[in-house]
Amino acid sequence: MRLLFVKDFLDLIFPRNCELCTRALFDYEFCLCTICEGKLPITSYHLRATDNDLKDKLQGLTRVSRVLAFLKFTKNGKTQRLLHQLKYRNKPQVGYYLGKKYGQLLLKQDYSKSWDCIVPVPLHRMKLKRRGYNQSEEFAKGLAESLGIQIENILERIVATETQTKKSRLERMGNVEEVFQLKSSISVQNRNILLVDDVITTGATLCSSANVLLANGAKNVDLATIAAGGKI
Ligand SMILES: [Zn+2]
Protein backbone atom coordinates (compact mmCIF):
# COMPACT_ATOMS: atom_id res chain seq x y z
CA MET A 1 0.00 0.00 0.00
CA ARG A 2 2.77 2.35 1.04
CA LEU A 3 4.74 1.49 -2.11
CA LEU A 4 1.69 2.14 -4.25
CA PHE A 5 1.38 5.55 -2.69
CA VAL A 6 5.03 6.37 -3.43
CA LYS A 7 4.54 5.25 -7.02
CA ASP A 8 1.46 7.42 -7.51
CA PHE A 9 3.32 10.31 -6.03
CA LEU A 10 6.27 9.82 -8.38
CA ASP A 11 3.91 9.54 -11.35
CA LEU A 12 2.46 12.87 -10.36
CA ILE A 13 5.84 14.60 -10.30
CA PHE A 14 7.43 12.70 -13.18
CA PRO A 15 4.54 11.67 -15.41
CA ARG A 16 5.36 8.95 -17.90
CA ASN A 17 4.11 9.78 -21.35
CA CYS A 18 4.13 8.11 -24.73
CA GLU A 19 7.21 9.29 -26.66
CA LEU A 20 5.12 9.65 -29.81
CA CYS A 21 1.64 10.89 -28.93
CA THR A 22 2.46 12.15 -25.37
CA ARG A 23 -0.60 10.45 -23.85
CA ALA A 24 -0.07 9.40 -20.21
CA LEU A 25 1.07 5.78 -20.04
CA PHE A 26 -0.63 3.00 -18.11
CA ASP A 27 1.44 1.08 -15.57
CA TYR A 28 1.92 -1.82 -17.96
CA GLU A 29 3.15 0.42 -20.78
CA PHE A 30 6.74 1.51 -21.26
CA CYS A 31 7.96 4.25 -23.56
CA LEU A 32 5.09 4.01 -26.06
CA CYS A 33 1.36 3.61 -25.57
CA THR A 34 -0.20 0.43 -26.91
CA ILE A 35 -1.73 2.25 -29.89
CA CYS A 36 1.55 3.84 -31.04
CA GLU A 37 3.38 0.56 -30.44
CA GLY A 38 0.90 -1.18 -32.74
CA LYS A 39 1.61 1.37 -35.47
CA LEU A 40 5.41 1.07 -35.47
CA PRO A 41 6.59 0.78 -39.11
CA ILE A 42 8.30 -2.59 -38.74
CA THR A 43 10.32 -3.87 -41.71
CA SER A 44 10.48 -7.46 -42.91
CA TYR A 45 14.29 -7.67 -43.05
CA HIS A 46 14.25 -10.36 -40.36
CA LEU A 47 12.40 -12.61 -42.82
CA ARG A 48 15.07 -12.25 -45.55
CA ALA A 49 18.21 -11.22 -43.72
CA THR A 50 20.72 -12.76 -46.13
CA ASP A 51 19.12 -11.37 -49.24
CA ASN A 52 17.75 -7.84 -49.07
CA ASP A 53 18.47 -4.35 -50.40
CA LEU A 54 20.56 -3.41 -47.35
CA LYS A 55 22.81 -6.40 -47.88
CA ASP A 56 23.08 -5.51 -51.58
CA LYS A 57 24.10 -1.98 -50.70
CA LEU A 58 27.07 -3.24 -48.70
CA GLN A 59 28.23 -5.54 -51.48
CA GLY A 60 31.99 -5.24 -51.89
CA LEU A 61 32.41 -3.19 -48.72
CA THR A 62 32.23 -5.96 -46.15
CA ARG A 63 31.47 -9.67 -45.99
CA VAL A 64 28.79 -9.72 -43.33
CA SER A 65 26.21 -12.48 -43.56
CA ARG A 66 22.96 -10.87 -42.56
CA VAL A 67 21.73 -7.30 -42.40
CA LEU A 68 18.71 -6.39 -40.30
CA ALA A 69 16.90 -3.14 -39.54
CA PHE A 70 13.90 -2.93 -37.23
CA LEU A 71 12.00 0.13 -38.52
CA LYS A 72 11.36 1.89 -41.79
CA PHE A 73 12.56 5.46 -41.89
CA THR A 74 10.38 8.18 -43.34
CA LYS A 75 11.02 11.87 -43.06
CA ASN A 76 9.15 13.33 -40.05
CA GLY A 77 7.70 9.88 -39.42
CA LYS A 78 7.55 7.86 -36.21
CA THR A 79 11.02 6.37 -36.61
CA GLN A 80 12.67 9.73 -37.11
CA ARG A 81 10.92 11.12 -34.06
CA LEU A 82 11.95 8.19 -31.89
CA LEU A 83 15.56 8.42 -33.07
CA HIS A 84 15.54 12.11 -32.33
CA GLN A 85 14.37 11.43 -28.77
CA LEU A 86 17.04 8.80 -28.39
CA LYS A 87 19.92 10.84 -29.74
CA TYR A 88 19.18 14.42 -28.84
CA ARG A 89 16.58 14.44 -26.06
CA ASN A 90 18.39 12.43 -23.44
CA LYS A 91 16.06 9.44 -23.76
CA PRO A 92 18.25 6.33 -23.63
CA GLN A 93 15.16 4.34 -22.65
CA VAL A 94 13.86 4.70 -26.23
CA GLY A 95 16.87 2.70 -27.47
CA TYR A 96 16.38 0.06 -24.81
CA TYR A 97 12.67 -0.20 -25.55
CA LEU A 98 13.23 -0.62 -29.31
CA GLY A 99 15.97 -3.18 -28.71
CA LYS A 100 13.70 -5.15 -26.43
CA LYS A 101 10.87 -5.16 -28.95
CA TYR A 102 13.15 -6.12 -31.83
CA GLY A 103 14.77 -8.83 -29.73
CA GLN A 104 11.34 -10.37 -29.08
CA LEU A 105 10.67 -10.43 -32.82
CA LEU A 106 14.07 -11.99 -33.60
CA LEU A 107 13.59 -14.55 -30.86
CA LYS A 108 10.45 -15.81 -32.59
CA GLN A 109 12.50 -16.34 -35.76
CA ASP A 110 15.08 -18.39 -33.86
CA TYR A 111 17.88 -15.88 -34.20
CA SER A 112 19.13 -16.24 -30.64
CA LYS A 113 21.34 -19.22 -31.48
CA SER A 114 23.10 -17.25 -34.21
CA TRP A 115 25.26 -15.07 -32.00
CA ASP A 116 27.79 -15.42 -29.18
CA CYS A 117 27.65 -11.75 -28.29
CA ILE A 118 26.25 -8.35 -29.23
CA VAL A 119 28.72 -5.57 -29.99
CA PRO A 120 27.49 -1.95 -30.15
CA VAL A 121 29.22 0.45 -32.53
CA PRO A 122 31.05 2.75 -30.11
CA LEU A 123 30.98 6.52 -29.94
CA HIS A 124 34.19 8.46 -29.71
CA ARG A 125 34.88 8.95 -25.97
CA MET A 126 34.43 12.74 -26.19
CA LYS A 127 31.01 12.33 -27.77
CA LEU A 128 30.09 9.69 -25.20
CA LYS A 129 31.04 12.12 -22.45
CA ARG A 130 28.87 14.82 -24.00
CA ARG A 131 25.79 12.66 -24.53
CA GLY A 132 26.22 10.59 -21.41
CA TYR A 133 25.32 7.32 -23.12
CA ASN A 134 25.84 5.49 -26.37
CA GLN A 135 22.50 5.19 -28.17
CA SER A 136 23.64 2.02 -29.98
CA GLU A 137 24.54 0.42 -26.67
CA GLU A 138 21.09 1.24 -25.28
CA PHE A 139 19.54 -0.53 -28.28
CA ALA A 140 21.98 -3.41 -27.70
CA LYS A 141 20.89 -3.67 -24.03
CA GLY A 142 17.28 -4.25 -25.05
CA LEU A 143 18.26 -6.81 -27.69
CA ALA A 144 20.55 -8.56 -25.20
CA GLU A 145 17.78 -8.87 -22.64
CA SER A 146 15.22 -10.30 -25.06
CA LEU A 147 17.66 -12.65 -26.77
CA GLY A 148 19.55 -13.73 -23.64
CA ILE A 149 22.91 -12.82 -25.18
CA GLN A 150 25.59 -10.69 -23.54
CA ILE A 151 26.86 -7.33 -24.73
CA GLU A 152 30.58 -6.90 -25.24
CA ASN A 153 32.00 -3.41 -25.64
CA ILE A 154 35.11 -4.53 -27.46
CA LEU A 155 35.48 -1.86 -30.12
CA GLU A 156 36.78 1.66 -29.71
CA ARG A 157 36.46 4.64 -31.97
CA ILE A 158 39.57 6.73 -32.28
CA VAL A 159 40.77 9.65 -34.33
CA ALA A 160 42.69 8.25 -37.26
CA THR A 161 46.38 8.87 -37.52
CA GLU A 162 47.92 9.72 -40.86
CA THR A 163 48.87 6.13 -41.63
CA GLN A 164 45.32 4.89 -40.96
CA THR A 165 43.79 7.32 -43.41
CA LYS A 166 44.80 5.89 -46.71
CA LYS A 167 41.50 6.71 -48.26
CA SER A 168 39.65 3.57 -49.13
CA ARG A 169 36.20 3.56 -50.74
CA LEU A 170 34.69 3.13 -47.29
CA GLU A 171 36.57 6.03 -45.79
CA ARG A 172 35.65 8.34 -48.61
CA MET A 173 32.00 7.49 -47.96
CA GLY A 174 32.07 7.93 -44.22
CA ASN A 175 33.72 9.69 -41.37
CA VAL A 176 37.36 9.75 -42.43
CA GLU A 177 38.71 11.31 -39.26
CA GLU A 178 37.62 8.43 -37.05
CA VAL A 179 38.40 4.73 -37.28
CA PHE A 180 37.59 1.67 -35.22
CA GLN A 181 39.90 -0.71 -33.48
CA LEU A 182 39.61 -3.72 -31.24
CA LYS A 183 40.41 -2.96 -27.61
CA SER A 184 43.76 -4.38 -26.57
CA SER A 185 43.97 -8.01 -25.44
CA ILE A 186 40.48 -8.83 -26.78
CA SER A 187 40.05 -11.88 -28.98
CA VAL A 188 37.15 -12.35 -31.39
CA GLN A 189 38.61 -15.48 -32.95
CA ASN A 190 35.87 -17.80 -34.25
CA ARG A 191 33.08 -15.80 -32.66
CA ASN A 192 29.65 -15.10 -34.13
CA ILE A 193 28.91 -11.46 -33.56
CA LEU A 194 25.85 -9.26 -33.90
CA LEU A 195 27.09 -5.73 -34.50
CA VAL A 196 24.50 -3.03 -33.77
CA ASP A 197 24.11 0.65 -34.54
CA ASP A 198 21.26 3.15 -34.48
CA VAL A 199 20.84 3.81 -38.20
CA ILE A 200 22.22 2.44 -41.42
CA THR A 201 22.57 5.11 -44.12
CA THR A 202 25.62 4.71 -46.35
CA GLY A 203 26.74 1.76 -44.25
CA ALA A 204 30.26 3.18 -43.94
CA THR A 205 30.37 3.14 -40.13
CA LEU A 206 28.97 -0.36 -39.83
CA CYS A 207 31.21 -1.75 -42.56
CA SER A 208 34.35 -0.21 -41.03
CA SER A 209 33.60 -1.71 -37.64
CA ALA A 210 32.50 -5.07 -39.08
CA ASN A 211 35.74 -5.26 -41.04
CA VAL A 212 37.79 -4.75 -37.88
CA LEU A 213 36.03 -7.72 -36.28
CA LEU A 214 36.41 -9.88 -39.38
CA ALA A 215 40.08 -8.93 -39.85
CA ASN A 216 40.69 -10.04 -36.26
CA GLY A 217 39.31 -13.50 -36.89
CA ALA A 218 35.57 -13.26 -36.13
CA LYS A 219 33.84 -16.25 -37.70
CA ASN A 220 30.73 -14.37 -38.68
CA VAL A 221 29.36 -10.85 -38.32
CA ASP A 222 25.71 -9.85 -38.76
CA LEU A 223 24.38 -6.30 -38.58
CA ALA A 224 21.26 -4.94 -36.92
CA THR A 225 20.10 -1.35 -36.62
CA ILE A 226 17.05 0.44 -35.30
CA ALA A 227 16.33 1.93 -38.69
CA ALA A 228 17.40 1.88 -42.30
CA GLY A 229 17.82 4.99 -44.42
CA GLY A 230 17.41 8.69 -43.71
CA LYS A 231 19.30 11.23 -41.68
CA ILE A 232 18.32 12.27 -38.18
ZN1 LIG B 1 1.19 6.93 -28.16
Q: How far is the CA of 192 from the centre of ligand 1 (A)?
A: 36
Q: How far is the CA of 99 from the centre of ligand 1 (A)?
A: 18
Q: Which residues are CB-contacts of 48 (< 8 A; sequence separation ≥ 6)?
A: none
Q: Measured between alpha carbons, how far is residue 196 from residues 81, 112, 139, 192, 200 in Å?
A: 20, 15, 8, 13, 10
Q: How far is the CA of 193 from the centre of ligand 1 (A)?
A: 34
Q: How far is the CA of 75 from the centre of ligand 1 (A)?
A: 19
Phi-psi region of 216 (alpha: psi -120 to 50; beta: other; left: phi over 0): alpha
Q: How far is the CA of 33 from the centre of ligand 1 (A)?
A: 4
Query: Tell me: the pLDDT tens digits for 47-82?
Result: 999 999 999 999 999 999 999 999 999 888 999 999
Q: DSSP labels for 83-144? A: HHHHHHSS-HHHHHHHHHHHHHHHHHTTGGGG-SEEEEPPPBHHHHHHHSS-HHHHHHHHHH
Give this prediction's pTM.
0.89
Query: Tell me: the pLDDT tens digits for 168-182?
Result: 666 656 555 678 999
